Amino acid sequence: MADQFPAGFVWGVSTASYQIEGAWDADGKGENIWDRFSHTPGKIANGDTGDVACDHYHRYQEDVQLMQRLGVQAYRFSTSWARIQPSGRGKPNPGGIDFYNRLIDSLLAHNIEPWLCLYHWDLPQALQDAGSGWANRDTALRFGEYAELLGRQFGDRVKRWVLLNEPNVFTVFGYLYGRMAPGVTDFSEFMRASHHTNLAQGLGAQALRATVSDPLIGNALNLSPVHPRSDSQADLEAAERFDQFWNGWYLEPLFNGRYPELADPVLETMAVQPGDLDLIKGCIDWLGVNFYSRTVISYDPDVPLLQGSNNPPPDTPKMALGLEIYPQGLEEILVQVKERYNNPPIYITENGMGRHEQAVPGQVIEDSARIKFLHANLHHLHNALERGVDMRGYFVWSLLDNFEWDSGYKERFGLVSVDYATGARTPKRSFEWYQSVIEHNALETSA
Ligand code: FCB
């Protein structure tokens, strides 16, 4: 018995520039907010930084070969904005352009389609300094110019574009809770950032359509079904608010050209201007969903607007990062999106499991827990397909173990383990498992 996937279903892996590239100041690259944040004592577990990371900048050929061995048809990576435009504006930096040209050409030579994500959290520091980054409307305009530049440089070979990675995550954790770069804790900056990231998607898509022929533009939203922690009225209402924020804040503007009701009292704080929502509505061709877990919400009066916070039950299984293992949530959120938004084409742009593993040179990591996790998620994805969701493909997070933001290198998500002392890469058991799923375009249901 097998869950068979449709012909043409795309199998891939995802990574992000800051998490793997290293070479943080090489060949004209400018400083970005994650360089600054990770160089600030106390911000990252163990004092880790992305200065070297997986050194993918120098070892990309080996990584492309690994992907070829894995059999993926597509690779989603992100470009580092400060490598392309060191201060976030103006002329391109030849060193950065060269690097991505080499990477794209190498992918194509190995029959792997490049899926270029324009922004995976590493804003040029100069744009942060000029007016608090995404809290400043100008950053969205700069993003439009950056998109145009990328379109001109790479659009002859790149057709798949991913606008912003998880704007809900980087605005909440970067501007409200301050746990991530730029480390701000200010409600009104958070609200402005949330609108300006929506606006940036509209402007970015417009610029790509003007510079690339036949682009296929999507994004990567972290979506999650939201459940109340108890059946108390307070928890039920908090869960409803949280759903409007977590899932609705980006989906509603994209598909319906409006913010959810929850935004009504704060539209002015968000600095929404006339015409913005028209620009955002319908700007994508397909929806990218990053899925990790469900969200379980308790009433929490201390969180402005949302008045709720994530509070998963203590006794359910968790992966590293404290995320609940809840694969059925993938099916639930996909069916929800289908029903609410008229069944758009969807790719899972991230799904994966973090673990604490020890890289031992020459030894294959037996990550059966990861295999089980991915298997269960794919089974629920297949159920969603059977329930009529227009699923087009799936990307594992991640190809390599990498720099996991404020958790540093402790959390490992790779199908390939990285020995950070030497940079040596060793495929884990899950690599072989994924290889076989791709080869058969099917999931053995008995595994
Ligand atoms: C997602 C991020 C990605 C990675 C995974 C584990 O939220 O997009 O960069 O950190 O989580």
Candidate from 18, 355, 404, 409 with most ligand 1 atoms within 8 A of CB, to mutate: 404
pLDDT (0 to 100) of residue 446: 61
Neighbouring CB atoms inside 10 A of 322's CB total: 10
Across the range 310-317, mean pLDDT stands at 95
Confidence of residue 1 (pLDDT cuts 50, 70, 90): confident
Return the SS3 of 322: helix
Instruction: Point out the ligand 1 atom lying closest to the alpha carbon of residue 352.
Output: 6
Answer whether residue 67 shows pLDDT above 80.
yes
Answer whether residue 278 shows pLDDT above 80.
yes
Provide the residue count of the chain: 447
- Average pLDDT of the chain, as a whole number: 97
Name the nearest CA neighbour of 59 among 106, 91, 14, 6: 106
258-278 b/e (C-beta count within 10 Å ≥ 16 → b): ebbebbeebeebbbbeeebbe
Name the nearest CA neighbour of 156 among 117, 94, 118, 212: 212
Confidence of residue 387 (pLDDT cuts 50, 70, 90): very high
Answer whether residue 102 shows pLDDT above 80.
yes
Binding site membership of 397 for ligand 1 (Cβ less than 6 Å): yes
Dump pLDDT digits (tens) for 7-65.
999 999 999 999 999 999 999 999 999 999 999 999 999 999 999 999 999 999 999 99
Name the nearest CA neighbour of 232 among 318, 293, 306, 300: 300
Across the range 147-164, mean pLDDT stands at 98
| Number of structural domains in the chain | 1
CA separation for the pair 394, 14 (Å, rounded): 10
Binding site membership of 169 for ligand 1 (Cβ less than 6 Å): yes
Q: Cβ distance 159 to 214 under 8 Å?
A: yes
Candidate from 219, 323, 350 with most ligand 1 atoms within 8 A of CB, to mutate: 350
Dump pLDDT digits (tens) for 156-197.
999 999 999 999 999 999 999 999 999 999 999 999 999 999
Instruction: For CA atoms 259, 261, 263, 267, give the dihedral sign.
Output: positive
Name the nearest CA neighbour of 93 among 22, 161, 15, 153: 153
Answer whether residue 142 shows pLDDT above 60.
yes
**Closest residue CA from atom 9 of ligand 1:** 16
Dump pLDDT digits (tens) for 78-98.
999 999 999 999 999 999 999
Binding site membership of 245 for ligand 1 (Cβ less than 6 Å): no
**Closest residue CA from atom 10 of ligand 1:** 404
| CATH code of residue 179 | 3.20.20.80
CA separation for the pair 226, 229 (Å, rounded): 9
Answer whether residue 447 shows pLDDT above 60.
no
* Domain that residue 425 falls in: 2-444
pLDDT (0 to 100) of residue 250: 98
